[in-house]
Structure 1
């Protein structure tokens, strides 16, 4: 079973606007990291990944350690492979999207079906009561008297 993070758009709750992000290793993110990031509109991450990989390759050639530059670039690709979906979720959060729920399903079609069924179930239930937050103006005023150990003796500095 795969795990999908369901992201809802900032404005409007249309079912077709919901995005499903599979929480798993991404092979395309590993194999072609900058292109995969650019495909998912993670422009800054794509440019940074490309620059870091280029610097590591050039630095490895200049120092005569081509294998070290390649291995470090491989580590960058591994990072994108493991954390690429997390970067997508973080980018959506920055754009105002919010996580609706996590859905477990065998494939994307099953995840969409489960989401649709759970949304219908949520519509039948009453909305939860709003949380009551105490008003700060009703809080007790700060004490202005002397405190234990913080006394001031006149005539002493």
Structure 2
């Protein structure tokens, strides 16, 4: 059984809008790391990965350590292979997506079905959240005068 992290988009709570990220090693992320990152719209990560791999290869060639440069580039690819899905989840969070939960299923279709069944059991109407920021129309008018004694009052030293 595989574990899928279900990410909900910023606008809309429909089950079909969710993105399922499998928590596992990604072979394409290992084999072609910068392209895999770019495919998932992680532009900064893709550019940094390409840059680091290029610098390591060139440095290894210039220093006469071609094998060391290749091995270090392999380490970058291994990192993307092992932690690529975590990078993908972090990228979605930065874009405003929120984590709905985790679904355990044999494949993606089963995970989508389980999510639809579990999300369908929740109430469609969510209770109103309490206001943290007060409404400006209910605010009291600004007070004039001295505040915390930090202003100079004429006639006082």
TM-score range for the pair, normalised by the shorter chain length? 0.7 to 0.9
Cα offset for 1:123? 2.4
Question: Which residue pairs with 1:140 in the alignment?
Answer: none
Is 2:83 the partner of 1:64? no
The 1:109–1:9 alpha-carbon spacing in structure 2 relative to 1, beyond 3 Å, is same
Distance 1:62 1:130 in 2: 60
Question: Which residue pairs with 1:119 in the alignment?
Answer: 119
Contact 2:15 2:115 in 1 (8 A): no
Is 2:39 the partner of 1:39? yes
Distance 2:10 2:126 in 1: 19
Show structure 2 runs of 5+ residues with no match: 133-157
Show structure 1 runs of 5+ residues with no match: 134-157
SS of aligned partner of 2:121? helix
Question: Which residue pairs with 2:89 in the alignment?
Answer: 89
Question: Which residue pairs with 2:48 in the alignment?
Answer: 48
Task: Summarize the alignment of residues 8-23 of structure 1 with structure 2, pairs less than 5 Å apart.
Answer: 8-23=8-23
Distance 2:129 2:14 in 1: 24
SS of aligned partner of 1:119? helix
Question: Which residue pairs with 2:101 in the alignment?
Answer: 101
Question: Which residue pairs with 1:26 in the alignment?
Answer: 26
Question: Which residue pairs with 1:147 in the alignment?
Answer: none
Cα offset for 1:72? 0.2
Distance 2:27 2:71 in 1: 18
SS of aligned partner of 2:41? coil
Cα offset for 1:35? 0.4
Deviating above 3 A after TM superposition, structure 1's stretches of 4 or more consecutive aligned residues are 126-131
Cα offset for 1:15? 2.4
Distance 1:91 1:56 in 2: 25
